[in-house]
Structure 1
Amino acid sequence: MIPRFHSAFPLPVVLASAFLVAAHTTALSAPHAKPRAAAHKPKAAAPAEPAMTTDANGQSVPVLANKAWVLMDFNTGQLLASSNPDEPLPPASLTKMMTSYLVEQALKSGKVKPNDPVTMSLSAWCRGGKEGDSCMFVPLNAQASLMDMLRGVVIASGNDASKALAEHIGGSEPGFVAMMNTEAKKLGMSKTQFANSAGLPDPNNKASARDLAVLAAAIIRNSAEYYPIYAERQFSYNGIKQGNRNALLYTDPTVDGLKTGHTDEAGYCLTASAKRNGMRLISVIMNADSKQARADQTRVLFNWGYANFEEATPAQAGATLASAKVTYGVAPTVNAGLAQPWTLVVPKGQAAAVKTAITLNPAVEAPIAKGAVIGKIVATANGKQLGEAPVVALADMERAGFFERLRQRVVGWFSK
């Protein structure tokens, strides 16, 4: 669960207001419909300048016309800006991110294999012809490889593929949904409750924008081998070619995922990720009023985020930052520093202004294991605390023998 390090950077929360994005017709076909031809590269519309507001910290942030949104830094888990980030809302097919994540984790563990045959049961089968169906179109009782089914979920947004995989891995869809909710709790998705594997309308199927960003980060981090699937622009199965519905994959080369969603109740949703100059951001849009709006609003967030923030590394992992005094050790001090890389996201231009201060525990007694926490480091800029990280012993320290400990104790008496 992220972030590993506590961040005290202000998390602006912006109340959604009237930002009307011009409604252009996208080149992608309807998100829940009959078989679609592969999407052709749409022309990127020049979005209007977004409306802006100022948050409580004086930061100018976008105003977007939807029910909830977040912009999160991947490395740290910091929310750079948000609106209603913790409101549980219908996630539509963004639900399928948990379905695909569990499939990917089952692949990693060896529980299933890429070429395992997955059967399209009657309960999972897409009957077709009904407006709103989103299907991979595997025939009834036919089998497709697990990897084809996974692509059917991620790229084609197939309800049928989602249910078939749920039955294959969970024994039944309800059994798989229980796994989904267990994993959601494990990831810290506290405002999320899944009711089915595909995101079909159900009053008990809810997720927050923040939780969906956390899930997206888990996919990127823990399913790295399979994450490139989320950037694939089309998928063909059984002679049917379907295009990925994430319009940004065709217009922004820095975007490499993740998932779209739409129902009448949920509106148009999009979870996306972009990486520019080594910095990865994740955005979630919920309940926009059109496919074009969700894409344009995501572009606004990415452009705003990269224009206003940068990464800072206050200290390098493994470097000696201080020497901690040790009692009853074979040596009087032990080197202290960071066990893991530490990155902060700061307003543009403030990386050079970041300062650090280290506080070590007053009583460090041997034996000490390498990696034991013996203090903390705090980063500040312009007098404001940005974050903190644990300082650890960079080496083992053995406990001294009896006579050496006695000597140290006597010396300590006379030094008081």
Structure 2
Amino acid sequence: MKNTKFFSIILVAFLLVASLITQPITTNAAEMEIEAQAAILVDFDTGKILYGKNIDEPINPASMAKMMTEYLVLEAISNGDISWETTTEISQYAFNISANNNYSGVGLRMDYEYNVRELYEAMAINSDNATTITLAELVAGSEGEFVKMMNQKAEEMGLPEYKFVNSTGLKNNNDGVIPPEGTGPDEVNLLSAKSAALLAYHLIKDYPDVLEFSSRPTETFDGQEIRNWNYMLPHNTTSLEQYYYEGIDGLKTGNTGDEKGKMFTGTSLRNDKRLISVVMGTSGTSEIRFEETADLMDYGYNQFQSKELFPAGYQVEDESILTVAKGKEDTVEISLSESFTMPVKAGDEDLYTVQYHIDEEKVNKSGELIAPIKKGEKIGTAELVYTGDEEYGYIFNQGNKTVDLVTESEVEKANWFMLSIGAIGNFFSDIFSSIVDTVKGWF
């Protein structure tokens, strides 16, 4: 009897341990403790925000502002305004900045022509400020004109919170910095975490070759080795091995020089799933921003799975049929034109619903579609709605994810005879209804 009881206890203990091993440990976003002033994690394919902390707060991004400079240089190359082989000398101002060891100087030479590729590598890999200024002057003629381009492009991208005052991310009042024309000496660049993530999204989406630069741990520039300040890359240095993260291939570091001024916009690709993270305002050592980034990435990859919530052709129950006026058929079915596929946490699948939004211009006053109607004709949109507690939305300013709501079949317009018969029937039906109402009034 004692042996039976003993073995029962052992069996229960074994089952409990086994369940802990086989079942993934779940973490709610509310339980995440990211030690930063602001942070965000975004699914690249959908723009869905998986985690957010103070994501709309404007913060000095330091050198992360260079992401916009990187974008505009790549755009200038794409437009044919310059090429990778275009050469330029550096200005006296760029030389002075380069000679200042506090500004990530790579030691530019006067009276020497550098090509765009060299300058871009120094900017994107080593976060060099002087090469950044040189590229801005090359593209726009002056850094002041380039700043105008930066703000204009930010508006085009729909960045919610931004202000660019120089091409580098330096403070305008830093020693030796000349504020670009149109900016003040006490101004700094500003980005929210959400804006930084959206800027990174556009940079990667429009110019994916940027990752070919940002993923390099080191590079040779003018006969010297320069290094990438992103410690999460596979640096061949023992002291940095602990910060390596599989899949990281970018994107941009930043450091204001203040106590809480360490920044990092990271991006990682694992199993065809790309994430973008932004950590702003970490305190302590420079490496903490990478540790917090690793926590964000782990959360995204371990807790979310891409799932088809509603397939193409899905129909909301009791809302899948619309009445048709002046058609050979009286009704037509409607459905989703494409699937809703989203990164979803385990157990959250049932917290998503679909809401229809019929285009008012497609229906008459009675809410009927008017024939003729083509198969697959868009008659509105279907919106994916999350009914749970943890919802951060998307980095785009469009609200929830939507797809087209389309007709399942064609409905031809009825011929004039059938329309006439219908009109006559409606006429007598109205008379009959009027008579019935009158007779009812007598009693």
Tell me which residue corresponds to 1:315: 310
Tell me which residue corresponds to 1:275: 269
**Partner SS state of residue 271, structure 1:** strand
State the Cα deviation string for residues 313-352 of structure 1 (Å, max 9, x = none). Answer: 22345x575675544568777775555664323223434x
**Partner SS state of residue 148, structure 2:** helix
2:142 aligned with 1:172: yes
2:341 aligned with 1:343: yes
State the Cα deviation string for residues 247-301 of structure 1 (Å, max 9, x = none). Answer: 1112122111100111213621110011223322211111223221111111111
- CA distance in structure 2 between the aligned counterparts of 1:178 and 1:98, rounded to whole angstroms: 12
Tell me which residue corresponds to 1:32: none
Shift of 1:239: 0.4
Tell me: CA distance 1:249–1:339, structure 2 relative to 1, closer, same or farther (3 Å).
farther
2:165 aligned with 1:195: yes
Tell me which residue corresponds to 2:129: 159
Match runs of 1:11-410 below 5 Å: 59-126=29-96, 128-202=98-172, 203-250=187-234, 251-265=244-258, 267-289=261-283, 290-316=285-311, 319=313, 326-328=324-326, 336-338=334-336, 342-351=340-349, 353=350, 356-357=353-354, 359=356, 361=358, 362-366=367-371, 372-378=378-384, 388-393=401-406, 400=413, 403=416, 406=419, 410=423
Tell me which residue corresponds to 1:48: none
Amino acid at match of 1:393: V
- CA distance in structure 2 between the aligned counterparts of 1:81 and 1:230, rounded to whole angstroms: 24
Tell me which residue corresponds to 1:23: none
Q: Which ranges in structure 2 are unaligned for 5 or more consecutive residues?
A: 1-26, 173-186, 235-243, 359-366, 394-399, 431-443
Shift of 1:162: 0.9
**Partner SS state of residue 75, structure 1:** coil
- CA distance in structure 2 between the aligned counterparts of 1:333 and 1:188, rounded to whole angstroms: 41
Stretch moving more, 84-93 or 353-362: 353-362
**Partner SS state of residue 171, structure 2:** coil
State the Cα deviation string for residues 160-179 of structure 1 (Å, max 9, x = none). Answer: 11111111111211111111
- CA RMSD between the two structures: 3.4
State the Cα deviation string for residues 86-125 of structure 1 (Å, max 9, x = none). Answer: 1111111001001001112222233322222233222222
The answer (yes or no) to whether the contact 1:86–1:210 under 8 Å persists in 2 is yes
Q: How many residues align?
A: 358
Structure with bigger RCO (C-alpha 8 Å, 6+ apart) = 1
The answer (yes or no) to whether the contact 2:42–2:50 under 8 Å persists in 1 is yes
Amino acid at match of 1:296: E
Structure number with greater Rg is 2
**Partner SS state of residue 263, structure 2:** strand
Tell me: CA distance 1:98–1:181, structure 2 relative to 1, closer, same or farther (3 Å).
same
**Partner SS state of residue 227, structure 1:** helix
Stretch moving more, 390-399 or 78-87: 390-399
Tell me which residue corresponds to 1:20: none
**Partner SS state of residue 191, structure 2:** coil
- CA distance in structure 1 between the aligned counterparts of 2:105 and 2:256, rounded to whole angstroms: 14
Shift of 1:73: 2.0
- CA distance in structure 1 between the aligned counterparts of 2:385 and 2:128, rounded to whole angstroms: 46
Shift of 1:411: 8.9
Stretch moving more, 287-296 or 61-70: 61-70
- CA distance in structure 1 between the aligned counterparts of 2:105 and 2:379, rounded to whole angstroms: 51
Tell me: CA distance 1:392–1:252, structure 2 relative to 1, closer, same or farther (3 Å).
same
Tell me: CA distance 1:130–1:372, structure 2 relative to 1, closer, same or farther (3 Å).
same
Amino acid at match of 1:221: K
Shift of 1:70: 1.4
Tell me: CA distance 1:407–1:102, structure 2 relative to 1, closer, same or farther (3 Å).
farther
Tell me which residue corresponds to 1:19: none
Which has the larger share of helix? 2
Shift of 1:148: 2.2
Amino acid at match of 1:152: A
The answer (yes or no) to whether the contact 2:322–2:368 under 8 Å persists in 1 is no
Stretch moving more, 391-400 or 132-141: 391-400
Give the structure-1-normalised TM-score.
0.74
Tell me: CA distance 1:213–1:360, structure 2 relative to 1, closer, same or farther (3 Å).
closer
- CA distance in structure 1 between the aligned counterparts of 2:95 and 2:327, rounded to whole angstroms: 68
